[in-house]
Amino acid sequence: MKKAPQQTWGGRFTAGPADIVKQFTESVSFDWRLYPHDIAGSIAHAKGLAKSGILTKVEVAKIIRRLRTIQPQPNSALEDVHMNVEAALGPVGRKLHTGRSRNDQVATDIRLWLRENIGYQLSAIGDLQRALVTLAGKNASVVMPGYTHLQRAQPVLLAHHLLAYVEMLARDATRFADCAKRANVSPLGSGAIAGSTLRLAREFVAKELGFDGVTQNSMDAVSDRDFAVEFLAAAAICGMHLSRLAEDLVLWSSAEFGFIRIGDAYTTGSSLMPQKKNPDVAELVRGKTGRLYGDLVAVLTMLKGLPLTYNRDMQEDKEPLFDSADTLSASLRVMAEMLRHAKVNKARCETAASDALLLATDLADFLVKRGMPFRQAHHAVGALVAESERSVVPLPKLAAKKHGATAAKVFDVRRALAARNISGAPSPKQVGVQLARWKKLLR
């Protein structure tokens, strides 16, 4: 009987996989980026085997020395990164897989990769926050309309608007940090499903790899991808925030708004219309958010029907993870650079904010201070607005005629902003406090 070619699991089989199966099941083309983490996990595992008396000091020294000198050149004939690393070790590494399955090995590698990548995301988030704070600080006194339903609502400081995104990104950072905390537990020693009969030094290995501890259920350890889903969810939410910022920038840079001018290096032209200057970078960031959503849904869908424990479906977790990580970090970095090269058109912002209707609510508040119930005041001001539109008489003039000359003072936009001096409001004083706070936090 013909024997199967040598494989990690070949003893059970009389023939190797068909070529089409090899092509369909390989993962080395994308999981090779786990290479440094597989090396790190293997070094720690080797030390753990030595601590347990399974490897001699001489053996572990040889394995570690060889692991540290392996060159990152994947062999496509071997299906995954783990087999590439093991094969590169040669005869000295034949004992390395003792007490370890690729199930707990890949779970460890992904956790190590994710922990490192979250560091990159947090750095990129901080960089974008600094760009927003810098732009806000340079334009701290610029007044613009705030919008609800994309209709002019009330006046705000442009800096207040920009700092809203800094707050969103801060929540994104805490989500990633929280994800890293839950991911930072070692599954090594869980084996394929049921641990090992060998006395493995799990806690020692976990400490070697910088984990906070070890998983407490071997079945959960090899089948858990919650940490991957959390990362993808955090990336999708962050992408949503970037998309909203991108939409504001697209609107503000249009001729209809004209609030900002994006640097030429961060825009593109038209192949037909020579006058065009398109905010393609912002549009692409907005578009790439759909990819982040898709990656999250792909992994959630892949996991939703899996029985315990490991199933090969779970190989499909890596490409969405890597794609989201790359997409998000690129989007964060390019947005930060674009904002550093954006100019605010103060005159256009303040002309738009000079619309007296933006202070209609302030007139209602003025009447409330005189003792009128708010609903009655709301109705009275609404009637004045309607009369102003019919008669084309400015609202401040009608207000003075109806409620006395003092009512007209309500329509001083600087005075109105200064009056908004409660925590979280857009008065110059409160915005100054927030700018100072964020500059300190983002040093």
Residues designated catalytic:
149, 270
User: SS3 sequence, 362-401?
Assistant: HHHHHHHHCCCCHHHHHHHHHHHHHHHHHHCCCHHHHHHH
- What are the respective helix, strand and coil percentages of the chain, to the nearest 5? 65, 5, 30
Distances (CA, A) of 129 to 19, 174, 324: 50, 14, 20
Here the tokens at position 109 are 């590698």
Buried b (16+ CB within 10 A) or exposed e, 396-434: bebbbeebeeebbebbebeebbeebeeeeebbbebbeeb
Say how far apart CA 191 and CA 360 lie, in whole Å: 68
Say how far apart CA 401 and CA 179 lie, in whole Å: 60
Give yes or no for a contact between 420 and 426, defined as CB atoms under 8 angstroms apart. Answer: yes
Give yes or no for a contact between 84 and 105, defined as CB atoms under 8 angstroms apart. Answer: no
